[in-house]
């Protein structure tokens, strides 16, 4: 197989972004390139065209590669449901929930088999694969049964490029230390080093490059700049604070409830394109303040996160805010939390069958959790009873276990193309609940909702900001910027020479 694997000295060193950029670089050269990550641990997911679930990073990388995402690009997705347990999504479908130890003890051979199957499938369809590792390749306590780093590079038989994050400090120790802890055959596979997230004067680091190359005998392929607000969806919770910390202080203050097991926070990223919108996270009651709108995002553990809101008394603040006419939106698990009651009939959310918990009571409905998960791309228009005059098509995707049943008629938010009614719309849009992830990626809808809030504050309304075309251009911008600081010719030579061995 022809390709390269991007591994890191630690989590969140920028592997996902670099793979995204490389996919677009190779695609722009006319190569049939494909991203791959054997095993992802993330609650930020992506729904493929055929209704399968993979890690969001691989979905975005497929877009950068100008191809349609499939389950072969991320055959194993682990979605944390607690500090101990994760749901296993296998080839796009939920398989079971296991503890970390249970997964390690019982799933290794099955995991190896599906990784081999996936690599074979991708090699038959594409000419070049860009593989992303996870965490560090030298987690000594996990190395003997790992499915994400050197074992995958060995199965694919591709060279490895090691990425280190200079922004967090200790870059020389992290690179040399990682190489020292690799087995001799693993170290021989490392064909290059990339230093990521560099700020400042590049000339001040030239001596560092020389020292690294002499010390390790491995070429430094590039020192990549720190990309502020790159707008490429993050893979995991480590990206949350970084991506939204840079959100400007605009006239509109949107408070997002930071749930412990938040999922699909990419729902919020379109607000980063709105110049007058400020996104801030609320984790404690003292952080709530007086926002212009409140969003409760999705979660992988609805009842646990609802209980956390109650423990921190954020539930009372949201209820009071709603009673005083505030704007509140709940997406997926957030929609369920806003209802009157949640019934875990199958024990699929908490492991306790028929567990019943009271919600916030802002939406007249109850949610029942069953065993089967709904995973589908969805599209529709505003329900006629919303009174909304804009008749634009909305599209997104659904990933959820529960089904929410409303107690009153004529309050649905959307009429879907499959004939079903979806979500809740009340108080002239002051309260909205929906299972439609990426609701705010629909530009006309986002603008309509924000203009409602602007009017309520006595501010001027704004024209729609269209972000869909910008996103594709952003892939090119990031690829071109990184290519300026990357020895792309040497990387190509490494790939070609390795393949011809």
User: Catalytic amino acids?
Assistant: 332, 437
**CA distance linking residue 265 with residue 237, whole number of Å:** 9
The 8-class DSSP code of residue 205 comes to G
Is residue 400 within 8 A of residue 386, CB to CB? The reply is no
To 5 degrees, how large is the angle CA 41–CA 398–CA 453? 105
List, as one string, the DSSP characters of 370-389.
EEEEEEEEEEEEE-GGG---
Residue in 363, 435, 374 with CA at minimum distance from that of residue 401: 374
Is residue 301 within 8 A of residue 349, CB to CB? The reply is yes
Pairing state between β 190-198 and 160-165:
parallel
**CA distance linking residue 444 with residue 426, whole number of Å:** 19
Backbone angles phi, psi at 421, to 5 degrees: -95, 145
Is residue 471 within 8 A of residue 209, CB to CB? The reply is no
Residue 459's region, left for phi above 0, alpha for psi from -120 to 50, else beta, is beta
**CA distance linking residue 16 with residue 451, whole number of Å:** 34
The 8-class DSSP code of residue 72 comes to G
List, as one string, the DSSP characters of 346-372.
TSTTTS-TTEEEE---SSSEEEEEEEE
Handedness of CA 473, 396, 241, 255 (dihedral sign): positive
Alpha-carbon separation of residue 433 from 25, 47, 359, 366, 448 (angstroms): 40, 20, 13, 12, 16
Is residue 74 within 8 A of residue 47, CB to CB? The reply is no
To 5 degrees, how large is the angle CA 388–CA 391–CA 397? 100
HEC-encoded secondary structure of 136-150:
CCCCCCCHHHCCCCH
Handedness of CA 283, 286, 287, 290 (dihedral sign): positive
Handedness of CA 39, 43, 46, 52 (dihedral sign): positive
């Amino acid at each position: 197989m022809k390709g390269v694997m991007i591994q890191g000295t630690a989590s969140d060193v920028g592997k996902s972004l670099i793979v995204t950029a490389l996919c677009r670089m190779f695609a722009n050269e006319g190569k049939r390139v494909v991203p791959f990550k054997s095993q992802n641990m993330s609650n930020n997911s992506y729904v493929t065209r055929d209704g399968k679930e993979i890690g969001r990073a691989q979905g975005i990388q497929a877009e950068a590669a100008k191809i349609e995402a499939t389950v072969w690009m991320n055959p194993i997705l682990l979605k944390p449901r607690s500090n101990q347990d994760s749901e296993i999504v296998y080839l796009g479908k939920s398989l079971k929930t296991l503890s970390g130890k249970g997964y390690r003890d019982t799933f290794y051979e099955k995991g190896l088999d599906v990784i081999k199957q996936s690599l074979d499938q991708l090699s038959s369809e594409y000419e070049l694969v860009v593989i992303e590792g996870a965490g560090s390749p030298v987690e000594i306590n996990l190395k003997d049964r790992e499915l994400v780093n050197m074992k995958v590079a060995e199965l694919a038989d591709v060279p490895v490029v090691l990425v280190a994050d200079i922004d967090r400090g200790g870059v020389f120790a992290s690179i040399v230390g990682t190489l020292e802890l690799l087995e001799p055959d693993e170290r021989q596979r490392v064909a290059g080093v990339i230093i990521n997230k560099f700020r400042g004067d590049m000339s001040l680091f030239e001596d560092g490059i020389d020292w690294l190359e002499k010390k390790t005998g491995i070429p430094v392929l590039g020192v990549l700049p720190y990309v502020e607000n790159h707008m490429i969806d993050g893979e995991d919770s480590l990206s949350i604070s970084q991506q939204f910390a840079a959100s400007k202080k605009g006239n509109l203050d949107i408070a997002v409830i930071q749930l412990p097991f938040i999922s699909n926070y990419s729902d919020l990223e379109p607000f980063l394109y709105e110049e007058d919108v400020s996104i801030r996270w609320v984790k404690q009651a003292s952080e709530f303040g007086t926002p212009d709108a409140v969003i409760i995002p999705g979660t992988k553990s609805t009842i646990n996160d609802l209980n956390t809101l109650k423990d921190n008394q954020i539930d009372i603040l949201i209820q009071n805010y709603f009673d005083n006419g505030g704007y509140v939106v709940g997406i997926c698990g957030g929609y369920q939390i806003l209802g009157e009651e949640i019934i875990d009939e199958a024990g699929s959310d908490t492991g306790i069958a028929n567990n019943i918990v009271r919600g916030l009571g802002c939406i007249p409905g109850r949610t029942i959790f069953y065993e089967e998960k709904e995973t589908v791309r969805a599209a529709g228009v505003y329900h006629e009873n919303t009174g909304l005059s804009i008749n634009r098509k909305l599209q997104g995707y659904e990933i959820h276990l529960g089904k929410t049943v409303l107690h009153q008629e004529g309050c649905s938010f959307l009429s879907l193309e499959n004939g079903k009614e979806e979500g809740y719309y009340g108080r002239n849009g002051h309260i909205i609940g929906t299972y439609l992830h990426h609701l705010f990626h629909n530009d006309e809808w986002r603008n309509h909702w924000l203009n409602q809030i602007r009017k309520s504050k006595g501010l001027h309304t704004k024209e729609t900001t269209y972000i869909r075309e910008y996103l594709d251009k952003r892939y090119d911008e990031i690829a071109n910027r990184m290519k300026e600081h990357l020895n792309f010719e040497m990387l190509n030579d490494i790939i070609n020479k390795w393949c011809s061995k």
